[in-house]
């Protein structure tokens, strides 16, 4: 089973969004065009130059054309950069409840030794506010087991594991030239060890191979503070790489909130409220160290990550409800 239309479209829409940001278009510009396009208003055109709004109109015009074609053909037309499902989802994204974060200026942080199921449920769960749990994963054997070489051996020696990522899962190359997880594990040793002078790299992928999942879960568990009746996704999400920018600013299209554990290295998050709350809510920052867990509803909050110098960054996470 290959990626669904929804998953494929989500990746393509993220590419369009990130390309717009790289072209110098601000999130505020994107939001203003979004609001105007939804109510059917046209932005003023410039006869001499393409300003930020004109460029965004071009992006949105291409996307809306694809929507009409896709609706007509009841599917995704291969001529379009995106199809119906993901864009419809983005346009119909529930409005961020700004009251939720108007008085929050930093990510709440708690020691994992103090966070019980009852406390999590009564104070933190399902509020939509990110939470950083210090030492929440300190007892996992993954902290002493997971490495580039461990993951490389696991995927290369497990029959069909790399094919599963390519065909059924998702792979995020970010700013690298890698086209697949297989290529990642074929990089020169010097690059994989983050030696000076080697190209920087940072990648992410989901695992949907059952044998790999069983092996990974020998070394980690779902966070112990999650409620007993909480259901977790069968997918593991892994992110790995060295110093520099991690993921660019984006919002996810997953089913539920997510948790992510820092297995190695140090990573900082920038967590940004939706544009409709720009004047009410503040951008939040959180830094994860080895053994920490962060919980973020990445469907609600835009976010980006930064990898600190030093040890290779490895995180693993999943969704929960």
Residue 267 main-chain phi, psi, to 5 deg: -135, 140
Query: At residue 116, does pLDDT exceed 90?
Result: yes
Q: Is pTM beyond 0.85 here?
A: no
Name the residue with tokens 């449920």.
121
Model pLDDT, residue 92: 57
Give the pLDDT confidence score for residue 113 in this predicted structure: 95
**Position 37 pLDDT exceeds 60:** no
Q: Give me the mean pLDDT over the 138-165 stretch.
A: 97
User: Per-residue pLDDT for 23 more than 70?
Assistant: no
Asked whether the predicted pLDDT for residue 57 surpasses 80, the reply is: no
pLDDT at residue 52 in the model: 52
Q: Where are the beta strands (DSSP E) in the chain?
A: 109-111, 131-134, 171-172, 202-207, 236-241, 244-245, 258-264, 267-272, 284-288, 293-296, 302-307, 313-319
User: In the block, which residue shows the tokens 């997880």?
Assistant: 181
Task: With cut-offs at 50, 70 and 90, classify the pLDDT of residue 204.
Answer: very high
Structure tokens at 321: 């409800």
The whole-angstrom separation of Cα 52 and Cα 20 is 9
| Number of other residues whose CB lies within 10 A of the CB of residue 320 | 18
What phi and psi, each to the nearest 5 degrees, are found at residue 204?
Answer: -145, 155
Contact 205, 238 (CB under 8 A): yes
pLDDT of residue 166: 95
Q: Look-up: residue for tokens 């499902």?
A: 85
300-314: average pLDDT: 94
Residues 244 and 201: their CA atoms lie apart, in Å, by 8
pLDDT of residue 275: 87
Query: Token pair of 78, please?
Result: 């291969």
Supply the mean pLDDT for the chain.
81
Residue 76's pLDDT is what?
42
């Amino acid at each position: 089973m290959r990626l669904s239309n929804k998953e494929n479209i989500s990746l393509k829409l993220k590419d369009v969004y990130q390309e717009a940001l790289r072209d110098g278009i601000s999130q505020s510009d994107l939001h203003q065009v979004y609001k105007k396009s939804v109510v059917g208003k046209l932005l003023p055109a410039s006869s001499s130059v393409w300003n930020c709004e004109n460029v965004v109109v071009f992006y949105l015009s291409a996307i809306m054309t694809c929507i009409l074609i896709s609706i007509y053909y009841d599917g995704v037309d291969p001529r379009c950069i995106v199809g119906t499902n993901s864009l419809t989802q983005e346009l119909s994204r529930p409005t961020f409840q700004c009251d939720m974060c108007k008085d929050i200026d930093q990510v709440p942080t708690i020691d994992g030794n103090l966070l019980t199921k009852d406390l999590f449920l009564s104070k933190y769960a399902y509020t939509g506010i990110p939470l950083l749990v210090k030492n929440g994963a300190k007892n996992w054997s993954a902290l002493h087991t997971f490495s580039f070489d461990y993951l490389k051996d696991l995927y290369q020696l497990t029959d069909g594991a790399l094919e599963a990522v390519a065909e059924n899962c998702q792979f995020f190359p970010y700013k690298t030239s890698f086209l697949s997880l297989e290529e990642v594990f074929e990089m020169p040793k010097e690059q994989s060890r983050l030696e000076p002078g080697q190209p920087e790299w940072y990648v992410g992928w989901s695992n949907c191979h059952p044998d790999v999942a069983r092996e990974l879960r020998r070394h980690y568990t779902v966070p112990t503070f999650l409620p007993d009746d909480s259901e977790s996704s069968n997918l593991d999400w892994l992110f790995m790489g060295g110093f520099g920018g991690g993921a660019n600013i984006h919002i996810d299209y997953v089913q539920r909130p997510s948790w992510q554990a820092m297995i190695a290295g140090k990573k900082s998050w920038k967590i940004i409220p939706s544009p409709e709350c720009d004047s009410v809510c503040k951008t939040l920052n959180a830094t994860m160290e080895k053994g920490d867990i962060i919980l973020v509803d990445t469907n609600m909050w835009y976010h980006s990550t930064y990898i600190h110098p030093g040890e290779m960054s490895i995180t693993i996470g999943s969704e929960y409800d």
